[in-house]
């Protein structure tokens, strides 16, 4: 069934020249005579030659593959980042190997180890909420494999570049916006408490309330604990069904939470934005479709992907001896106003 691949040797034999010459000819190396090169190209085509990437990689020590680890697929933010990575990477002749850590530290570690086997030239990683220790990442870096981290970074990792947004600032400004609209009972819907981004978004919420002398009311605060799409809905419905006071605004830490909140509130008979304003976080398209459309903090996801890829690829091309400056890159967010506020 499986056909034997044509290799350099086959071309060499047919033309009665050496493998080295064939290799160089295909490389357009000026050391081989134009006429020879032509002949090589012709027979290579005729024979259907296709270089063996694996052999090339073994010889060169480069695979031109970037390993990407995200906590989950079913979060549009991560997919959008991947799209950004793919865009930049392809332009620079890299391919991407994506895997999901499924919100599990163990999976994240396993993935990292599998990448350590030399399959990838560098790694882009967004740590899970479970990730408390970073030695598994440090280990990889110590082996000389460049790593770029994005989103949800609990701890600065020495030698890695970080790309983040300022979650606390962003949520602070969103909540302050609500306060300035004279909202007094602002509900907060966050995600799992263990996740740094949610912690920071919560901090921003608290800070805005404090600044404007609004008392924090625990009954208005929900930290969703679901890791799956299916349970988030129930959790948020529960929350609003039982809430003892009527909120006049909701600040949600993701677009999805925001949409689910709007859905639940509408079903409970609230009018948006008359009775209650809602702000989401992310701005990944769905907020624009919902009726009413949702005000969001726009996070530059695609751009984040591009940036992350750019930084990694830059690092891959650095001269080995130059000890590179590792950086923390902060991308800007902005509040996009729509009908829900």
Partner DNA sequence: TAATACAATGCAAACGTTTGTATTATTAAA
Partner DNA sequence: TTTAATAATACAAACGTTTGCATTGTATTA
Residues in contact with a copy of itself by the rule CB under 8 A: 1-3, 5, 50-55, 57-58, 63, 65, 73-74, 76, 79-80, 82-83, 86, 90, 95-100, 113-114, 116-119, 142-144, 229, 233, 256, 259-260, 262-263, 266-267, 285-286, 288-291, 320-323
Restricted to residues 14-53, the positions that interact with DNA (CB under 7 A) are: 16-21, 23-24, 26-27, 30-34, 36, 49-52
Measured from the CB atom, is 2 or 242 closer to DNA? Answer: 2
Closest contact distance (angstroms) between CB of 3 and DNA is 11
Contact characters 59-88, DNA, x per CB under 7 A: xxx---------------------------
**Residue 171 touches which of a copy of itself, DNA, none (Cβ within 5-8 Å per kind):** none
CB neighbour list of residue 190: distance below 8 Å, 6 or more residues apart: 198, 201, 202, 221, 222, 223, 224, 253, 257
Residues constituting the chain:
341
**Residue 23 touches which of a copy of itself, DNA, none (Cβ within 5-8 Å per kind):** DNA
**Residue 154 touches which of a copy of itself, DNA, none (Cβ within 5-8 Å per kind):** none
- Closest alpha carbon to 124 in 70, 61, 77: 70
Q: Which helix (H) or strand (E) covers residue 177, if one does?
A: helix 167-180
Cβ atoms of residues 47 and 14 within 8 Å? yes
Measured from the CB atom, is 161 or 199 closer to a copy of itself? Answer: 161
Give the span between the Cα atoms of 255 and 296, in whole angstroms: 7
> Which two three-digit tokens encode residue 268?
């409970």
Q: Does 327 bind DNA (CB under 7 A)?
A: no
b (16+ CB within 10 A) / e for 127-162: bbbbbeebebbeebbeeebbbbbbbbbbeebeebbb
Cβ atoms of residues 145 and 114 within 8 Å? no
| Number of residues counted as binding DNA (CB under 7 A) | 30
Q: Which residues bind DNA (CB under 7 A)?
A: 5, 7-9, 16-21, 23-24, 26-27, 30-34, 36, 49-52, 55-56, 58-61
């Amino acid at each position: 069934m499986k056909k034997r691949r044509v290799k350099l040797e086959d071309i060499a034999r047919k033309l009665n020249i050496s493998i080295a010459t064939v290799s160089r000819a295909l490389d357009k190396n000026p050391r081989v005579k134009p006429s020879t090169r032509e002949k090589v190209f012709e027979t290579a085509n005729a024979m259907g030659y296709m270089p063996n990437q694996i052999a090339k990689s073994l010889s060169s020590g480069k695979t031109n593959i970037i390993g990407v680890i995200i906590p989950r697929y079913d979060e549009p933010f991560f997919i959008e980042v991947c799209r950004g990575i793919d865009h930049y990477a392809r332009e620079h002749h890299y391919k991407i190997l994506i895997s999901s850590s499924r919100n599990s530290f163990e999976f994240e570690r396993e993935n990292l180890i599998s990448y350590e086997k030399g399959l990838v030239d560098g790694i882009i990683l967004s740590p899970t909420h479970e990730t408390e220790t970073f030695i598994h990442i440090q280990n990889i870096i110590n082996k000389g494999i460049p790593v770029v981290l994005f989103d949800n970074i609990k701890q600065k990792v020495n030698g890695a570049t970080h790309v983040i947004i300022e979650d606390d600032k962003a949520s602070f400004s969103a909540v302050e916006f609500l306060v300035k609209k004279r909202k007094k009972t602002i509900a907060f819907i966050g995600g799992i408490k263990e996740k740094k981004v949610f912690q920071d978004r919560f901090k921003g919420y608290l800070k805005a309330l404090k600044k404007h002398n609004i008392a924090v009311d625990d009954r208005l605060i929900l930290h969703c604990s679901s890791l799956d799409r299916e349970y988030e809905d129930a959790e948020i419905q529960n929350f609003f069904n039982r809430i003892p006071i009527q909120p006049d605004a909701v600040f949600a830490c993701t677009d999805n939470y925001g949409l689910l909140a709007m859905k639940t509130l509408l079903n409970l008979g609230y009018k948006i934005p008359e009775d209650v304003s809602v702000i989401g976080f992310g701005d990944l398209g769905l907020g624009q479709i919902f009726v009413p459309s949702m005000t969001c903090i726009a996070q530059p996801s695609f751009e984040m992907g591009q940036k992350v890829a750019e930084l990694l690829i830059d690092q891959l091309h650095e001269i080995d001896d130059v000890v590179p400056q590792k950086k923390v890159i902060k991308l800007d967010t902005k509040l996009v106003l729509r009908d829900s506020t």
